A and B are shown apart, each in its own frame.
Chain A
Amino acid sequence: MTTIPASWFLVLAAVLFGVGAFGVLTRRSALIMFMCIELMLNAVNLTFVTFARTMSDIGGQTTVFFIMVVAAAEVTVGLGIVVAVFRRRSSTSVDELTELQG
Chain B
Amino acid sequence: MLATVYAIPDVLVFAAATLLILIGALGVITMKNPVHSALSLILALMGVAVAFLEQNADFLAAVEVIVYAGAIVVLFLFVIMFLGVDSSGHPQVEPLVGQRWLAALGVVVTVAGVITLMVNSHWVSGVMSASTGGTPMATGSDGVTQLGQSVFTTYLLAFEATAGLLIIAVVGAVLLARRERPADEELELGDLVEDDAAELDDEITEEVEQ
Contacts and interface: CB of A to CB of B under 8 A. Distances in A.
Interface of A: 1-12, 14-23, 25-32, 34-36, 38-39, 42, 45-46, 49-50, 52-59, 61-62, 64-66, 68-77, 79-84, 86-87, 91-95
Contacts of B154: 59, 62
Contacts of A75: 72, 75-76
Contacts of B166: 69, 72-73
Given A76-B170, A93-B88, A64 B60 contact: yes
B98 to A, nearest CB: 11
B11 A35 contact: no
Contacts of A50: 55
Interface of B: 6-7, 10-11, 13-14, 17-18, 21-22, 25-26, 28-29, 34, 37-38, 41, 44-45, 48, 51-52, 54-57, 59-60, 63-64, 67-68, 71-72, 75-76, 79-80, 82-83, 86, 88-91, 93-95, 99-100, 103-104, 106-108, 110-111, 114-115, 118-119, 124, 126, 128, 130, 132, 134-139, 143, 146-147, 150-151, 154-155, 158-159, 162, 165-166, 168-170, 172-177, 180
A63 to B, nearest CB: 9
B132 A55 contact: yes
A70 B164 CA distance: 11
A58 B150 contact: yes
Nearest to B21: A16
Given A16-B25, A52-B57, A72 B72 contact: yes
A4 B89 contact: no
A95 B13 CA distance: 41
A4 B14 contact: yes
A79 B29 contact: no
A19 to B, nearest CB: 4
For the complex of A and B, list the 6 residue pairs with the smallest distance between their C-beta atoms, beginning with the closest.
A29-B89, A80-B176, A57-B134, A23-B29, A73-B169, A25-B103
Contacts of A9: 14, 51, 55
By CB atoms of chain A within 10 A, which of B26, B95, B177 has the most? B177
